Structure 1
Amino acid sequence: MASPHPAGSSSISKERNGATVEDDDYIYDDEDEPSKENGDNEINYMRPNSKLQLLTKNHTLEADVGQMVVLPCHLQNVEENTIVMWHNTSNLLFMKNNTYTNDPRLTFAQNYSLLIKNVQISDDSIYKCTVLPIQASAFITLKVKSQPHSVRITHGNADYTNRDLEIQQRDRKFIIHCRALGYPTPSVTWSFRGKHLDDNYAKHTGINIRKEFLEIHDVKAHHAGDYECLAQNGIGEPVSAVVNVQIKSNATKIGLNEDASTTPVPEDIEASPSVVKHVDYLNTAIGENAELMCLYHSNPEARKVQWFRGEEQLRNSAKFAIVEDRHNHHQRTRLTVRNIEQRDLEAYFCKVENALGESTAKTILGLLPGSAHLIHSNYSDGLLHTVWRVRSAQPLSDLQILYKGENTKYTVIDATISEQNKEESGDVWNIKRSIRLPEGEWFITARAKNTEGWSYSETVPIHFQIPSEVSLETQSLSGSGSSRLHSLSLGFCLLLFSLVCRLL
């Protein structure tokens, strides 16, 4: 899975007309990219003097959970001794009129196709239709679309999702891994103490991001805190997992005797609370109320939780309301700013202090749109269909989608926006746009514009792997012994056919 942060990507929050998008970094294209034709990968072993043919090619099908899907096995010139077998990986499902599966959702149709009702995630697999006696096979890959699931953070072979992970500073290095399932393959992004780990922040904190891996090669006290991985693939809401990393040091006591053994004494050196989640920017409108929040972890217990607007400390009043509560396994502080005025459009800071130190986080309140979030995607007939969600109390006028290959520059296309894109209640806009893309790896991001200007920041690029036709050789035969396996498989099928004919 490719990194969602392509190397060398630069800011994209620039105007299109008049002053904008940098010519060296982006190509503006009003037309979609042309698609590439997929090659014919049908392999059909013909038996001499037989007119029987398998017409189905190797291909990939996509299905939603709960949908009904038909896996075709089209034949021409069917003969009396024709036998069709369906396999799911290595499991035999059907052979001629015999059923070898207990799953009532699977049906062997009269036209030799395999029918799957009420598709489930577990049906995601490679299916094979084999035709005897001509020894022809077609491989059909069924990809079941689902939002990210089973998101886990592991260290070594242990699962630390939503748990504490103690790291000894003397170990100098540690690696955590974010595992996420789903189709399309989820892209993973990391946050540390509630702030997205972009290239600058990661470099500043001494953290190395390698796709779904997070590495620290020189463990320091400031590396303690919550690490969150966010998995998203454009279907449903993003799913996250969190691990709280605690850094331990090892003090050594040396006896008076030169030969005395050393005794490591663990000592918790976490010196301050940590803000584990907040938003960097929040869209609002004049006259509205806005709620800002910070989730934090503090041990020992926080003795002060404060909110500031610039240098001004805020307290409960007719203008501001501050509430302390809990959310999941974290403590939370919330600030409500009532009846927004122009002077309220500033940076707000939550500050948490305990006996050992303090931590702060910043949220900017403004009139520009929030970031565009991809909430749904679907690929069919060479087109990637996307749906983007943007929060803006003001009318949206533009949505630009930017896409690039692994080694290309961004291409920019526009989406059409009208009042029909706005949800009936609230300040949320849902915008659809299709992009014609050939197979391969792509990175896609977006930005929106309302009456006040372009988004405060662009969306973190999302990785897409546009599927290609299934390769018969790679799907059916793998490893150095592929030729021997093929001959064994062929011999087994001929033996099976001979036995079946004797029974008929």
Structure 2
Amino acid sequence: MGYAKAVSNEDDYLEDEYNDYSDYEEENRSKPDSNAISTNEAVIDDPPRLRTDSDSITIRAKTGDDVTLPCDVLNVKSSNVILWFNTTQVIAQNRHILTQSRIEAGADNGIKIINVSPYDNNEYKCRVLPNEIEYRVTLIVEKKNSVVISVNDREASKKQFTYRQGDNVTLECKYNGDETGVKIKWSLNGGNIHQHGARVEHNRIGINHVDARHAGTYQCLGDIPGKNSDLPVTFVDINVLYKPKTSTHRHHVNTKLGYHADLYCDFHANPIASIEWKQNSNVIPIVSDKYKIKNSVHNHRNRSVLHIRNINEKTDLGAYYCETKNSLGSDYAKVYVILEPETPIYEKHEIQGRLVNLYWLARSTTPLMEAILDYKLNKTTDWMTEAALSTRKHEDGQSNWKIHHKLEVPIGEWEARVRVKNQYGWSEFSKPFNFIITEDAPVEIEITTELPAPLDIVKPTDNEDEVLKAGFGIESPSSQPEGDAASRVTLSSTFMPLVILVSSILSIYHLVPSSLSNL
């Protein structure tokens, strides 16, 4: 006989059971039995019956206990079918468990529930067919100071669940106990859960389109007023399968002809991704006379480094692609090998009253010749451009530089950015840095409706503390500086009505090579 057909409710299941049992009886009647005995010699077995006069029992348990629910019926034959129901849902047939992983077959046709929780509170029924003997078991899990987590309405405390990128996930935490005023507090990987883009509403977390940032250990704590220790806590691990995420911390790699270049690519993926380096559409071999690729783990990410030997101007400059791929998708990062300086990186700033010292770091294997500063008040559209200043020549073969700008400005919120130049050309502008001047101090203000004449530029001396006076106008970010340093303090055809005179000095230092080794 077979009982493999899926059913949706108790009545459908019983109808199929009766049909199958009738077929079984008819099949047996049609077969001759050589061992049959006469009616006078037949032994009449006792039919299944309840062990006691009661057809039900109540079992009490505590959260976390393992509980066996008995089927207290005698004279059960191998030909009988034993069904277990959770209300109307069939959860077991004979010793075959049909639903939850926490349920096992128990002794004497019973079932065993592992690690019970209040979610298991219910009436369970054991039914013996075809005799229609039924035994009911009411399970009551006593409340205590505990919390339990469910994920998408499935009991989840101290378990792991896996989802694919883009799935929707709902976590819920419930407190069990007699305390009042208990607040549910969530954390993810020990930190603030709001930083990961999850929507938290009281005891529930809603995640639309789950991604790599949502993976980790979710902890639920029941914060009981006036109690600082032994607070109820539990957790669930959420594993997310996602396509690769690929990046690089150096989009431009400066070098010079005949030297080498190291290109960096960082990525993470689940499942793990494969990686290839390409120049144009050509795959670069892992090891050759020209190239070497080294893969490692860096700061919890996979890192691949492409080492290019003996840079050639005609064949080696330009764009390189780091391509990653797994079963869910692919991604890439682009890195340029250049002779111009790399984009400066903001390092730090110091503010004293209206005086601000700004520092950037830059890489160039050939000496830096000039630097230019743009700055403006926040929420304005046009940049004010400081004169580009020449600097001392430095020895070849040293690549790390520090750009220092000392600026005295009025109160307000400001943005500043720089770029630098070597013999091959200008770098890209650095990412704008924002700073705020809050301390009130007198400023020189000139109200004019005419274009002010530019002031003379004095090039910096060896005294870094010397403050130089400069006038400045407004220049588009896309404008390219040309000519010598002194001529670059120019005024465009459009100016702010309020012209502010400030004191400033822009200077460039050489750094020891180790200063940028970790950037």
User: Is TM more than 0.5 here?
Assistant: no
Greater RCO, CA 8 A, separation 6+: 1
TM-score range, shorter chain: 0.3 to 0.5
What is the TM-score when the length of structure 1 is the normalising length? 0.40
User: Which structure is larger by alpha-carbon Rg, 1 or 2?
Assistant: 2
